Amino acid sequence: MATEVKVPTLGESITEATLGQWLKQPGEAVAADEPIASLETDKVSVEVNAPVAGVMGAQAVAEGDTVEVGAVIAQIEAGSASTAATPAAENRTAVGQAEAAAPAEPASAPADADAQLTLSPAVRRAVLEHQVDPSKIKGTGKDGRLTKDDVIAAAGQTKPAPAAPASAPATTPSAAPREGSRREERVRMTRLRQTVARRLKEAQNTAAMLTTYNDVDMTAVIEARTRYKDLFEKKHGIRLGFMGFFTKAACLALKDVPAVNASIEGDEIVYRDYADISVAVSAPQGLVVPVIRDAQDLSFAGVEKTIADFGKRAKDGTLKMEEMRGGTFTISNGGVFGSLLSSPIINPPQSAVLGLHRIEDRPVVRNGQIVARPMMYLALSYDHRLIDGREAVTFLVRIKEAIEDPMRLLVDL
């Protein structure tokens, strides 16, 4: 008797996804609640778990296909792997997977072989790109799973596969291209990348977007971090970073300039007395923006722990969709990649985004003397339909004042 595997509910307003990768192939044993496939939604990757234990049966869709919520994508057959291996192989051929299927593992295969069957889409792409054997790589992710960094590190220690035998004809079409030859590769855009592209273009088309700039002297914050970082980490178990200062500074500035924290809905303006701060973090499949809920009520430690957790789970691909909904204001730190200055794009339906950049020593005038100071450029992109230039400048000045005099964060100035 076969049990159908259906696309689970993916969240509010999400009706379809792309089947990113089959984690189990027909004929392989499956445990109840074991991941058998990964789906790529507009925001994150979601694993589909087996509803019952048994053997992976027919796969109704291929990798890259679009599937709707509730659609049947596979079947789980009753019995053991040996009883269903032959028909399962036929099913695999039917959906175009035969060319990518690996030979069946012997019964004595090491335990690591199971880990490679649950590779995330990003890790699987890295494995194919670097041509390494995932079963020989020790994973550092959750439950020993491989991460993209594990694959890249292993690739750096592994010599490339030997070239084709010398006896092969030089004119063989499959021969490797000569060194220095020109090549092109076409890769289908992930659903996340398509959604990001669409939303960013919609923001440009809809909002009257304008960017205002300022710079900030980071001396006081750097000194505070240097002085308290060890005590902070010892007490809270987390490092004291710059994002904690900027998040708390943004909460104060949003309180003073509420229009920056508002949004336009129809012919109405929605003002908020809370700050749900979206923080842009990098994930293998692209940039994601999880939300720090009620950031105005969190301590520095609370902010830093939340951001660190987001960063780790974004890397592992385990962020939840509800964690990326409902932000009221975004902070994007391009400085971690070395950016000197940029104009960030608004994340709709929000009305503003703060861009942070790299810190570098620059000459500035202090008390009539030219001195070197660690300076950072700030950029505030905003919807001019709602936020006036005066309000945008005032907001950036509030950020600047709080960072250059962190005591303001403690006494609510």
Residue 384 among the catalytic residues: yes
SS3 2: strand
How many CB atoms lie under 10 A from the CB of residue 393?
A: 15
Work out the widest C-alpha separation in the chain, in whole angstroms: 85
- Rounded alpha-carbon distances, angstroms, from residue 201 to 198, 206, 348, 350: 5, 9, 10, 14
Asked if 339 and 365 touch (Cβ cutoff 8 Å), the reply is no
| Residues 6+ positions from 217 with CB-CB distance below 8 Å | 364, 373, 374, 375, 403, 404
Q: For residue 88, how far is the Cα from the chain centroid?
A: 34
Distance CA 248, CA 235 (A): 20
Identify any residues that bridge with 361 across adjacent strands, giving them in sequence order: 374
Residue 357 among the catalytic residues: no
List alpha helices for 208-276, DSSP H. 219-236, 242-256
- Rounded alpha-carbon distances, angstroms, from residue 341 to 95, 246, 317, 332, 404: 48, 17, 29, 12, 19
Distance CA 122, CA 140 (A): 15
Distance CA 121, CA 35 (A): 13
Of 114, 149, 309, 388, the catalytic one is 388
Distance CA 109, CA 135 (A): 10
The residue type of 141 is: G
How many CB atoms lie under 10 A from the CB of residue 235?
A: 10
Q: Write out the E strands in 153-300.
A: 209-217, 263-265, 268-270, 277-279, 281-283, 286-288, 291-292
Tell me, what DSSP letter sits at residue 102? P
Nearest partner of 381 among 190, 212, 133, judged by Cα:
212
The residue type of 386 is: L
Q: Write out the E strands in 334-390.
A: 352-356, 360-366, 369-383
Of 133, 230, 297, 384, the catalytic one is 384
Question: What dihedral do alpha carbons 284, 285, 289, 293 form, nearest 10°?
Answer: -70
How many CB atoms lie under 10 A from the CB of residue 330?
A: 22
Cite the active site residues: 384, 388
